[in-house]
């Protein structure tokens, strides 16, 4: 609701095209025994925000683009930690800098790939 409201507010106030950038969610992801990472909370977050973009567009807001936060897990600029994850591709690295740096797609990776392929139409 906040994203849709803010997009409409900016549109009404400035009347300029809007591109939403770096939209995402930081969370403490868990790697399962089989190596998979299930992050339904990230999918729910992104889904709700993409829906809000569509609603704002239907309201008449001139939205010209959308990007998520970094696609891979990154070191937090504020804390230097890796334990809170932001991407939809897991990076094997801990807060002390240990790990193989192996990349593993999370469930959100496959979901977002489908969203992109459908131009935002398939959000299930």
The 10s digit of each residue's pLDDT in 108-122 is 999 999 999 999 999
The 10s digit of each residue's pLDDT in 46-92 is 999 999 999 999 999 999 999 998 899 988 878 889 999 999 999 99
Predicted structure pTM score: 0.92
pLDDT bucket at 124, cuts 50 / 70 / 90: very high
Q: Are the C-beta atoms of residues 73 and 95 closer than 8 Å to each other?
A: no
Token look-up 């399962």 returns 32
């Amino acid at each position: 609701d906040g994203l849709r409201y803010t997009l409409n507010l900016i549109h009404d106030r400035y009347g300029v095209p809007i591109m939403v950038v770096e939209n995402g969610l930081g969370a403490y992801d868990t790697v399962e025994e089989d190596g998979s990472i299930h992050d339904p909370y990230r999918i729910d977050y992104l889904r709700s925000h993409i829906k809000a973009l569509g609603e704002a567009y239907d309201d008449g807001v001139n939205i010209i683009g959308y990007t998520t936060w970094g696609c891979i897990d990154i070191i937090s600029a504020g804390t230097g930690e890796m334990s809170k994850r932001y991407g939809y591709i897991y990076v094997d690295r801990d807060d002390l800098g240990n790990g193989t740096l192996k990349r593993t797609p999370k469930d959100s990776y496959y979901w977002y790939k489908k969203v992109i392929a459908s131009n935002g139409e398939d959000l299930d």
